[in-house]
Amino acid sequence: MRPNPVIDVHTHVVPERWDDWGVRHAVGPWPAIAHHDDGSASLVVGGKAVRALETGAFKVAARLQDMDRGGVDVHAIHRRR
């Protein structure tokens, strides 16, 4: 690692899949992930895509490539419970 590493302290990780909270909880709408044939995905709320997700949002190998391209050495990630 370089003497002054670049640390990204504001990044997001999205699980590749998550439970359908709409089935478990009557109140909603709940977010979901729609995966596309090109490997990307969209965050969907109420049946409407609200944000594009790059593959690096949920696949480690793609994230590491994104970090290399961006000159980032370390991500500080907090996982919500």
Q: What is the pLDDT along the chain (81 residues), one digit of tens a residue?
A: 678 999 999 888 888 887 778 777 878 788 888 999 988 899 998 889 999 998 888 889 999 999 999 999 999 887 666
- Measure the CA–CA gap between 51 and 31, rounded to whole angstroms: 11
Tell me the per-residue pLDDT of 56-78, one tens digit each, with 9 for 90 and over. Answer: 888 899 999 999 999 999 998 87
- The chain-wide mean pLDDT, for the chain, equals 87
**pTM (2 decimals)?**
0.72
Residue 18 phi, psi dihedral angles, 5° rounding: -145, 165
